[in-house]
Amino acid sequence: MRALGVAVGSVAILAYPLVFSTPFQQRLGALVLLYAIGASAWNIVGGYAGQVSIGHAVFFGCGAYGALVSYQHLGLAPIAGLPIGVAVAILIAAVIGVPTLRLSGHYFSMATIAVAELVRLVVANTEWLGGAQGLSGPPVPRTLLDLSFTSALPYYYLFVAVLSAIIGLTWWIERSRIGYYLRAIRDSERAARSLGAAAPRYKLYAFILSAALTAVAGALYAVMFGFVDPESGLGILISVKMVIMAALGGAGLLLGPLVGAVILVPLEELSNSLLGGAGAGLTFVAYGAIVMAIARFQPGGILQRVLRLRRKARPAPAVPVAQP
Amino acid sequence: MLIEARQITKAFGGFTAVDRASLAVEPGEILGLIGPNGAGKSTLFNCLTGDLRPTSGCVLFEGRDVTRLAPEERARLGLARTFQVPQTFEHMTVLENVMIGAFLRTSRTSEASARARAVIDTVGLGPLADTPAHSLGTPGRKRLEIARALATRPKALLLDEAMAGLTPAEIARAIALIRDIHASGITLVIVEHVMEVVLSLASRVVVLHQGREIARGTPAEVTRDPVVIEAYLGKRAARAANRDAPESTGRSP
């Protein structure tokens, strides 16, 4: 049953751009995957470990700027900047994480917002990083390594590969000690520590891994769009989208972020094309409404609700759910 | 000594919750820590486990100074605890909850799972292994916390009000479980509000009142101590106890 679901899902994802083959549809598919990559990366620290970062845009920006800096200043292919972006993201995650992850509560969330906004302002005023105008990629591809294509199809399959790798990694984490520890820390940090889980250390591991993978998403974004500015690379809306997609689909669930992206990205693209420039403001309003709806009705996200319904449909266990 | 607390003081701002309290736990014994509400029992307890760092004084475990060690480091040395208000991992099953404890001694999931299952069977939660922890009631949660702590293979287990919220029948079952754990060679420290529990389990008792130790000894000794009676029931009750005693002079006619 489970294997069948995986097989059907994989075929659907691989066949989508061939069935829905207009440029708009292919681009939409690639965007869904790109956001699913970002939200899956966020999910590791925000979902599994329950440490809600609202500043992941800073790591996304590291990847995006890393890619285009390597082109602008080093003359390399943008993708060659990926390790730079990842390294800077890891550094920033450590700087934020070491002091704030020792504390519980909202200190961490607040610190992530503050750092992300700070970095956005600094970048917007740094000439070397393009200032408010931003940075561009190669206008015409020099080699295949520039990964500059007019069709979205190659990006689509590149993103499928990256997303599969991230989901595979998350799947492995879920089944290993660190995954169990992260979920325990999310439920009760105090109890987890009393049982020997070094909570500050494990939260930091999750945060750093999540930051590094978010930087990968940012680099892929820059490679596909060939452009980044402080708003599109470091804006708070990017952070908020990652949180909302993961939360809507199901935070702390393997495929939650993908489900969230499949629902939200088409909605956003649709509203943008229908409303034009005015759509940007409306997007904020819509996201605010979604946050409230999740908080009110579906704290576990859509996927959690589906899983619960399926569990209910199964015959009840022989043992009564009573107190021993 | 397995656990030793020397001159522990813990102040929160201007309020001194524990005032120069000392405690020594010998290997293999059951030590009861009692006192009325607000006596500082839980604060002292949390200084032993590392959840709180004392303002002054030190904590030793097997002769080693652990005052500055984090709770997880003390767990590794063999100190386990339960919580007064159960801190179960709500989104996990009973088995997964206990696996968190078992993971302290193995990094392999299959091994942690096997060890956790064995512990769950010994505490009598076997049939509930795969139910979500949030579906358990108070007695189940208390038992689950004990199972989780045992899965860390502790030398000492500290129970913080393990009987709170249980009915008399459930208390009887919990006492039997604690006796089994003690028989398996684990040293126990029990913080308890319910006097009868401490009296039936503990070999020695330390009584705290307003952050200070007011008595120590066998359960029989401390329950006869007028200072203890006064702390628990107030001055009038202490006088009444004296009055009712045969050697008392009683009220003048």
A26-85 pLDDT tens trace: 999 999 999 999 999 999 999 999 888 889 999 999 999 999 999 988 888 889 999 999
Q: Beta partners for B31? A: B189, B204
The single-letter DSSP state of residue B27 is T
Note the pLDDT of residue A189.
92
Measured distance CA(B196)–CA(B205) in Å, rounded: 12
Q: Quick check: B210 and B40 in contact, CB under 8 A? A: yes
Nearest CA in chain A to B96: A180
B228 burial (CB, 10 Å; 0-12 / 13-18 / 19+) is buried
Of A187, A252, A319, the CB nearest to B90: A187
Determine contact: B167 vs chain A, CB below 8 A. no
Residue type, A78: P
Of B100, B107, B125, the CB nearest to A195: B100
Q: Which of A101, A188, A195, A201 to mutate to test the interface with B (most CBs of B within 10 A)?
A: A195
| A241-261 pLDDT tens trace | 999 899 888 888 999 999 999
Report the half-sphere exposure of B100 (CA within 13 A, side-chain side): 39
ipTM of this model? 0.89
Residue B62 φ then ψ, to 5°: 50, 40
Note the pLDDT of residue A249.
87
The pLDDT of residue A315 is above 60: no
Determine contact: B78 vs chain A, CB below 8 A. no
Compute the nearest-CA separation of B23 from chain A (Å).
21
Q: For the stretch B96-129, what's the b/e string if a residue is b when 16 or more beta carbons lie within 10 angstroms of its beta carbon? A: bbbbbbbbbeeeebeebbebbbebbeebebbbbb
The single-letter DSSP state of residue B9 is E
Window B:98-127, CB contacts with A under 8 Å: 99-101, 103-104, 107, 109, 112, 124-125, 127
Measured distance CA(B247)–CA(A136) in Å, rounded: 98
- Residue for token pair 């060679």: B185
Q: Which of A102, A173, A188, A194 to mutate to test the interface with B (most CBs of B within 10 A)?
A: A194
Measured distance CA(A264)–CA(B113) in Å, rounded: 38
Interface of A with B (CB under 8 A): 175-177, 180-181, 183-184, 186-188, 190-199, 252, 317, 319, 321-324
Measured distance CA(B45)–CA(A257) in Å, rounded: 42
| Chain B hits for A198, Cβ within 8 Å | 70, 72-73
Note the pLDDT of residue A279.
60
Residue type, A250: G
How much of chain A, in percent, has pLDDT values that exceed 90? 52
Q: Which of B45, B48, B77, B100 to mutate to test the interface with A (most CBs of A within 10 A)?
A: B100
Contact across the interface for A197 and B143, Cβ inside 8 Å: no
| A263-304 pLDDT tens trace | 888 888 887 777 766 666 777 777 777 777 776 665 677 777
Provide the token pair at A278. Answer: 């005015």
Crossing angle of helices A279-297 and A256-275, in 10° steps, is 150
Determine contact: B217 vs chain A, CB below 8 A. no
Residue type, A83: P
Contact across the interface for B128 and A194, Cβ inside 8 Å: no
Tell me the average pLDDT across A88-101: 93
Measured distance CA(A113)–CA(A249) in Å, rounded: 23
| Chain A hits for B72, Cβ within 8 Å | 193-199
pLDDT band at A313 (very low <50, low <70, confident <90, very high): low
Of A177, A187, A193, the CB nearest to B89: A187
B149 burial (CB, 10 Å; 0-12 / 13-18 / 19+) is buried
pLDDT band at A316 (very low <50, low <70, confident <90, very high): very low
Per-residue pLDDT of chain B (253 residues; tens, 9 = 90+): 899 999 999 999 888 899 998 889 999 999 999 888 888 888 999 999 999 999 999 999 999 999 999 999 999 999 999 998 999 999 999 999 999 999 999 999 999 999 999 999 999 898 999 999 999 988 899 999 999 999 999 999 999 988 888 888 888 889 999 999 999 999 999 998 777 888 889 999 998 888 888 888 888 888 888 888 888 777 666 667 666 654 444 444 3
Determine contact: B138 vs chain A, CB below 8 A. yes
Q: Quick check: B193 and B161 in contact, CB under 8 A? A: yes
- Dmax over CA atoms of chain B, in Å, equals 77
Contact across the interface for B70 and A177, Cβ inside 8 Å: no
Compute the nearest-CA separation of B195 from chain A (Å).
24
Residue B74 neighbours by CB under 8 Å, 6+ apart? B49, B50, B61, B66
Note the pLDDT of residue A140.
80
Contact across the interface for B87 and A190, Cβ inside 8 Å: yes
Note the pLDDT of residue A262.
93
Measured distance CA(B151)–CA(B120) in Å, rounded: 9
Residue B119 neighbours by CB under 8 Å, 6+ apart? B98, B101, B102, B147, B150, B151
Note the pLDDT of residue B247.
46
| A184-242 pLDDT tens trace | 999 999 999 999 999 999 999 999 999 999 999 999 999 999 999 999 999 988 998 99
The pLDDT of residue A91 is above 90: yes
Measured distance CA(A158)–CA(B244) in Å, rounded: 88
Residue A27 neighbours by CB under 8 Å, 6+ apart? A152
Compute the nearest-CA separation of A296 from chain B (Å).
19
